[in-house]
Structure 1
Amino acid sequence: MNIGFGVTVLNNETKKKHLDGIGIYSKELFHALQKHPLIKLHPLGFGRALNNSNTINNSYLLHILPYLIANKKQNLKDPKINIFHATDHYIPALENTLVIATVMDLIPFLHPEWVSSKLRGLKNYGFKKLIKSADHIITISQYSKNDLVNYMGIKQEKISVTHLGVNKSFFARCSPTFYQKILKKHKIKPGFFLFIGTLQPRKNLIELIDAHALLPLELQTKHQLVLVGQNGWGTDELINKIKEGESKDTVKWLKHLPQQEVQALLQLAQALVFVSLFEGFGLPVLEAFASQCPVIASNTTSIPEVAGTAALLVNPQDKLSINAAMQRLINDPTLAEQLRNKGLKQAKQFTWDQCAAKTIEVYKKLSSNP
């Protein structure tokens, strides 16, 4: 089976040496699919090719404009490819090739205030039309599937859910020597509360910082709030909050770190606190589980689907609820150990091999019922 595999976002993020959710998904799924002898992957993208991939068109906009204006689709250069899987939001408009589109979430439509406003109306028009043009949709949670059905009006049978996996490296324990190296490098002590992700409005970090600030000052300094992630957008007020916390030595912003350092921090943390307002999945929750790190997480959107009963779920818009969960984990080491054990068990249910197997089922289904 010859599969065109979309790598536009993966290529772009590889150039920047930093993979976010879509880049991680594309990379991990590609490697897992490569293990299957009946699947031949053809990495294809828009823009400059990278890592043995080929280019569909140097400009995605020039490719989709004929379809957006006049419903005119284009042929791939390689006629052997019978399915194209768009693993990112660069969904092509193809003639004579079946298209599968992975849609992680509908945040740009449901909460446009959380994304860049530049040409947002035009982008949403094009994205919606291309989503609906796909022959099949893959999404990463039942929650996102429900949004696609209710908001986009897409039939349930046209959507498949393939949960994400967690990289096996997160299950490996770092050495005590490496722990000490990381603590010394970043000037932190074990027992900190940790956040991982790009700084942006929907990650709800102002509420998190305010919740942490409700701890007695002695506990704030003993259990610092450590933020790991690059700056995104809409963060002016947040950056001021971070600077205020840094001046008191209660907050640390470490920006982007290599994966091994992130793994060490997860293993040293009091808990991951992931109180995002909206997630299509919430991969950091799984990575924390695999690292045997207790998790405090939002009780909204897809996160309960991923966390199950292995996390302390809180109302992300209630700083008192977030603070109470922090205090529980500080004061109750038995609870923390229970969450570590539950989380590890939960993480083992989500693998990239399973994600690949379910994706192949979609390929086969579409091939037999074009």
Structure 2
Amino acid sequence: MKKIFVSALAFDDGKSGISNYIENTIYNLAQDNKVSVALLEKDMDNFKRKHKNIHFILFPNILKSSILNLIFHMFFLPFYVNKDYDFMFLPAANRRLMAFYPIFTIATFHDLSQFNVSNKYDFFRMFYIKHIIPIFLKPIKKIIAVSNNTKLDMEKHFNIDSQRIIVNYNGVDKELFHSPKGDFEKIKEKLSLNKKYFLYVSRLEHPGKNHLNLIKAYEALPLEIKDEYDLVLVGNQKENSHVIIDHIQNSKDKESIKILGFLENEELPSIFYNAKLFIFPSYYEGFGIPLIEAMAMKVPTLCASNSSLLEIGKDVSAFFDEYSPLSIKNCIEEVLSDESKQEEMVAKGLVEVKKYDWSYHANKIIELYKTR
């Protein structure tokens, strides 16, 4: 049994793909190890997957400020890591690193979409990503990339030796995403889901997550399809979400485009399961956990032709040109009109999703420590 120090100071209130990663990885590490987790006080309720082997080291909520959080994490948190721990794990290295590492450290890097999506972040955040992160990654000997695509991006943009980067795929919570949870009729009533629907699960962020081209594709669908199917968007509102909301408010189809906001994990399986199609138009993804969650819930998946989506969706998903609403529209119509194709996609997805397991991911982290 190892003693592991983990920083979860970039937990995003439990409302992002990274928080999904942090929670599931820590929970699975804790099955056979003692895990001490640095966490903000406000996130104790947000961290759902607790375990007897998880001990929380709580820090004041003043650190919810991104700048204060980053400075504290960089220069002060290392002093909380003593030699009693076997190793330290940083699950969000693309956001939070340290000025020095008091013990052996393994870090996970999720994506470098900032280099591939114009105007994703402001000048100062891009400066941090381009010039600060590479400096403080140098002392870390074992860096996990969640896809081959992310590994290649790190080699290209940070000039990191490929031997230091180990691909370790994300997982899917098989306890949760295997059958619908709860009473879907009550969920439908709560969320005002009155029709069948197409689904996109992602934070509402513009332009990176490409909601606008998906909405434009939906608007261009034949009236008989829109009469039968709504477009449902699930996710926390983030950078420039007002652009998406304003477009919907001015759309002739605004009554059929539903923004549900952030949903608890327990509600998501039913939301996935009852979707007719899952559509993932993002301009760039380091992995894209909702894609495998949709596969696990037996939903045909339609994807943008880029980044890790090509890697994870290969041989399962139908692909479109994410820059073209017409291409998205045509892909929706093609899959929707072919029930046998949908059945084939579901069957292939159930086979593919077996490759993605959080317990395997956690075990590989332990093996990286043992073979250091």
TM interval, short-chain normalised: 0.7 to 0.9
Following superposition of structure 1 onto structure 2, how do residues 207-356 of structure 1 map, counting pairs within 5 Å?
207-245=213-251, 248-356=254-362
Provide closer, same or farther for how the CA distance between residues 358 and 190 of structure 1 changes in structure 2, counting only shifts above 3 A: farther
Please, which of 37, 48, 55 is the counterpart of residue 43 of structure 1? 37
Is 1:85 aligned to 2:89, yes or no? yes
Gaps of 5+ in 1: 67-72
Following superposition of structure 1 onto structure 2, how do residues 102-121 of structure 1 map, counting pairs within 5 Å?
102-111=108-117, 113-118=119-124, 120-121=126-127
> 8 Å contact 2:15–2:236 — kept in the other structure?
no
> 8 Å contact 1:242–1:253 — kept in the other structure?
no
- 1:117 Cα deviation from its structure 2 partner: 4.3
Query: What is the TM-score of this pair, normalised by structure 1?
Result: 0.86
The aligned residue for residue 198 of structure 2 is: 193
SS at match of 1:325: helix
- Higher mean displacement: 252-261 or 270-279: 252-261
Please, which of 140, 147, 151 is the counterpart of residue 146 of structure 2? 140
- Higher mean displacement: 158-167 or 111-120: 111-120
Provide closer, same or farther for how the CA distance between residues 64 and 249 of structure 1 changes in structure 2, counting only shifts above 3 A: closer
> 8 Å contact 1:86–1:92 — kept in the other structure?
no
Alpha-carbon distance in 1 for matches of 2:7, 2:314: 31
> 8 Å contact 2:117–2:284 — kept in the other structure?
no
Q: Structure 1 vs Structure 2: percent identity of aligned residues? A: 24
- 1:244 Cα deviation from its structure 2 partner: 3.0
- 1:79 Cα deviation from its structure 2 partner: 1.6
Is 1:27 aligned to 2:23, yes or no? yes
More helix by share: 1
> 8 Å contact 1:194–1:225 — kept in the other structure?
yes
Is 1:170 aligned to 2:174, yes or no? no
Provide closer, same or farther for how the CA distance between residues 237 and 318 of structure 1 changes in structure 2, counting only shifts above 3 A: same
Q: Deviation per CA, 1:67-86, whole angstroms, max 9, x where unpaired?
A: xxxxxx96555221242111
- 1:45 Cα deviation from its structure 2 partner: 5.1
Provide closer, same or farther for how the CA distance between residues 63 and 259 of structure 1 changes in structure 2, counting only shifts above 3 A: closer
The aligned residue for residue 64 of structure 1 is: 74
> 8 Å contact 1:56–1:76 — kept in the other structure?
no
Query: What is the TM-score of this pair, normalised by structure 2?
Result: 0.86
Counterpart residue type for residue 88 of structure 2: F
Provide closer, same or farther for how the CA distance between residues 248 and 81 of structure 1 changes in structure 2, counting only shifts above 3 A: closer
Provide closer, same or farther for how the CA distance between residues 132 and 29 of structure 1 changes in structure 2, counting only shifts above 3 A: same
SS at match of 1:172: coil
Alpha-carbon distance in 1 for matches of 2:124, 2:371: 38
Please, which of 176, 197, 205 is the counterpart of residue 211 of structure 2? 205
The aligned residue for residue 4 of structure 2 is: 3
- Higher mean displacement: 74-83 or 313-322: 74-83
Q: Deviation per CA, 1:213-233, whole angstroms, max 9, x where unpaired?
A: 111123113111111112111
- 1:130 Cα deviation from its structure 2 partner: 1.4
- 1:166 Cα deviation from its structure 2 partner: 0.5
Counterpart residue type for residue 81 of structure 1: Y
Is 1:53 aligned to 2:56, yes or no? yes
Counterpart residue type for residue 54 of structure 1: I
Alpha-carbon distance in 2 for matches of 1:112, 1:289: 30
Provide closer, same or farther for how the CA distance between residues 237 and 20 of structure 1 changes in structure 2, counting only shifts above 3 A: closer
- 1:273 Cα deviation from its structure 2 partner: 0.5
> 8 Å contact 2:3–2:35 — kept in the other structure?
yes
The aligned residue for residue 70 of structure 1 is: none
- 1:96 Cα deviation from its structure 2 partner: 3.9
Alpha-carbon distance in 1 for matches of 2:56, 2:217: 46
SS at match of 1:113: coil
Alpha-carbon distance in 2 for matches of 1:337, 1:78: 53
Alpha-carbon distance in 2 for matches of 1:77, 1:327: 54
> 8 Å contact 1:281–1:303 — kept in the other structure?
yes
- 1:149 Cα deviation from its structure 2 partner: 0.8
Provide closer, same or farther for how the CA distance between residues 56 and 194 of structure 1 changes in structure 2, counting only shifts above 3 A: closer
